[in-house]
């Protein structure tokens, strides 16, 4: 098999596309209460490296994928029935490079990724407060529900070696619970499920389906003075088996990642945050992933 054909086959077997979800996992304090009528603009840079496994019949070891992804994220809060609620819009732009391990062969793609929106509403513990009321409020345990939707806006062609988009819709319901163990120590747990529509252009003409992918995150964060916090993060995912033209691929995912994150406030409206995760346990056929993210955000 020629080198180009090997890369072509390996890329299709690995299903290479931009996926911002590992790099943009929910932050340790993303679901805390905020005053109503707050706008926040986030500017991210995320990086992920994935060592994708390929068909063992191919004369190659695997494919390494580097994704550099700037992301703009806008959030606005408002009140519903006395509870804090909000909406977020997420727009990624990907620079994806894939290389065949053990060779000099590389390919790349850039462009707008799959854009997403999130609607969230507090269930308990986070009332809708004005800025003046919020300044006097003491945070406590909270439970917040959200639903995320990702649209297939990124460029996709089934026969292309690397794609920016996934060519399918994704829906992500989630429950987020937080509890202060002491005035400066917050434990946050997020449980979610990702649901996928079918991709009818996989490898150009095949139909790809994926079962639900279940996930849970835990973040233990501690204040470092009045302006900063540091968090230990754990992320687990399970499920997501795929079918190609109705044939199961036997590729149920089971991954566990550990990492750390933190944030520093320059002033009451501007902050910088960063996070890092790495796969520490996974199925043999599941790609190992390392991610890094940094963002500057400003409230107005």
Taking the domains of the chain in order of start, what are their residue ranges?
A: 3-299
Predicted TM-score (pTM) of this structure: 0.89
pLDDT tens over the chain, length 300 residues? 444 444 444 343 334 566 666 555 568 899 999 999 999 999 999 999 887 654 433 444 567 888 899 999 999 999 999 999 999 999 999 998 887 776 777 888 899 999 999 999 999 999 999 999 999 999 999 999 999 999 999 989 888 877 889 999 999 999 999 999 999 999 999 999 999 999 999 988 899 999 999 999 999 999 999 999 999 999 999 999 999 999 999 989 899 999 999 999 999 999 999 999 999 999 877 778 899 999 999 999
Put residue 7 in one of left, alpha, beta given phi > 0 → left and psi -120 to 50 → alpha.
alpha
| CA pair distance 87, 75, nearest whole angstrom | 6
Which residues are within 8 A (CB) of 5 and not within 5 positions of it... i.e. 6 or more apart? Answer: none
Predicted local distance difference test score (pLDDT) of residue 20: 61
DSSP run (H or E) holding 283: none
Domain over 3-299 is classified CATH 3.30.43.10: no
Helix, strand or coil, per DSSP, at residue 133:
helix
């Amino acid at each position: 098999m020629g080198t180009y054909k090997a890369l072509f086959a390996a890329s299709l077997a690995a299903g290479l596309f931009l996926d911002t979800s590992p790099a943009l996992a929910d932050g340790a304090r993303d679901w805390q209460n905020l005053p109503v009528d707050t706008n926040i603009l986030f500017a991210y840079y995320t990086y992920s490296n994935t060592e994708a496994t390929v068909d063992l019949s191919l004369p190659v070891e695997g494919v390494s994928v580097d994704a550099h992804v700037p992301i703009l994220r806008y959030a606005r809060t408002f009140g519903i029935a006395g509870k804090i609620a909000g909406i977020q819009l997420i727009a990624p732009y990907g620079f994806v490079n894939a290389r065949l391990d053990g060779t000099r062969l590389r390919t790349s793609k850039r462009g707008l990724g799959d854009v997403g929106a999130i609607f969230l509403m507090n269930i308990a513990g986070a009332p809708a407060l004005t800025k003046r009321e919020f300044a006097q409020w003491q945070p406590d345990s909270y439970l917040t529900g959200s639903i995320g939707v990702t649209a297939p806006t990124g460029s996709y062609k089934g026969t292309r070696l690397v794609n920016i988009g996934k060519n399918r819709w994704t829906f992500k319901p989630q429950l987020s619970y937080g509890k202060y163990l002491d005035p400066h120590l917050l434990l946050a747990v997020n449980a979610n499920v990702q649901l996928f529509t079918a991709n009818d252009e996989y490898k150009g003409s095949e139909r790809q389906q994926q079962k639900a992918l279940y996930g849970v995150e835990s973040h233990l964060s501690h204040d470092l003075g009045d302006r900063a916090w540091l968090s230990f993060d754990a992320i687990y995912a399970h499920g997501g088996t795929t079918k190609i033209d109705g044939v199961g691929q036997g590729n149920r995912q089971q991954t566990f990642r550990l990492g750390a994150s933190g944030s520093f406030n320059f002033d009451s409206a501007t902050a910088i945050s960063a996070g890092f995760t790495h796969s520490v346990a996974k199925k043999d056929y599941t790609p190992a992933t390392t991610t890094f993210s940094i963002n500057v955000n400003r409230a107005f």
